[in-house]
Amino acid sequence: MTWVLLMIAAAFLQAAKDAFLKRAMAGVDVLVATWSYCLVTSVFLGVLLAYTGFPPVGARFWWLVALSGSFGGMNLLIYSAAVKASDLSLTLPMLALSPLFMLVTTPLMIGEFPDTAGLFGILLIVAGSYSLNLRRRTDGLFAPFRALLDHKGPRLMLLVAFLWSLFANIDRMGLDVSAPIPWIFCAFAATTVFLTPLVLWRAAAPLGQVRRHPREIFAAGLCESVSLSLQMVALTMTLVPYVIAVKRLSAVFGVLIGTLIFKESGLAERLFGTALMVAGVFFIALLG
């Protein structure tokens, strides 16, 4: 299925973006790192927009852009803080819970609901998140979740997962009244505009900070722009919860990157959980 291949590629690029962003935030303010990579992403998306063109849109489109930009900016700040605070292999898998939240938010917002096979796949993904800290299973039934929530990064990422369950539905609404590249460019540009006055007000010498890690910020923006473009195309092909569930494969790639590049521990334990997530993804792709 085309949309599955698109989202596997998008998931890998998301994990790569997180790795570059984590490196960029070494000695750089979280707000500055978030704003600068958003700016770079907007530039890349603007280049894509120059080739695709801009379709006619109405007032509803611009209201959705404003909503996505303001709330998306706040969510990205929380996301970046979570990435900086804890191991990637422990923090990123919390995003696997966003499809579970979407079982409530998506029917309420846009009237979509998965079939039985899709529901089972989503539950497998959530089970994978449960298994990430299985070595603490002897501490009680909910010990693995407590292990995640003991750390600041996973706590923040849990909030991100819920907020993304809302924003993914806003993306579908925006796509219904426009097209993939115009929508994501405007939404991300609005996020950058939202963050700019915060950077000028709160950050010290933001451009000087950006110069410390220009390559990492450039790479993070490139990965994000391509990943988001693929995601927007996939959203036009299938249900929103399915797209976001497959995107959670970024947790698998994040575990591998965290171990191989950042030398994080617990690979065997966390790979068991991410393997369950992969099983859920392919259950959705083949039967959902």
pLDDT in tens, 89-141: 667 667 767 878 888 898 999 988 888 878 888 788 777 766 765 555 555 55
What per-residue confidence (pLDDT) applies to 6? Answer: 94
Measured at the CA of 194, the angle between CA 19 and CA 71, to 5 degrees, comes to: 75
- Give the pLDDT confidence score for residue 77 in this predicted structure: 83
Please state the φ and ψ torsions of residue 55, each to the nearest 5 degrees. Answer: -80, 165
Q: Taking Cα atoms as reference points, which of 246, 4, 9, 285 lies closest to residue 125? A: 246
The low-confidence residues of the chain, meaning pLDDT below 70, are 88-90, 92-93, 96, 129-130, 132-149, 262-269, 285-288
Which position has the token pair 């990123």? 92
Q: What is the pLDDT of residue 221?
A: 93
In contact, 203 and 31? CB cutoff 8 Å: yes
Token pair for 99: 């499809």
Looking up tokens 């303010």 gives 29
- Look up the pTM and report it: 0.82
CA dihedral of 191, 196, 201, 206, whole degrees rounded to 10: 120
Spatial distance between the Cα atoms of 4 and 281, rounded to a whole number of angstroms: 9
The whole-number pLDDT of residue 89 equals 63
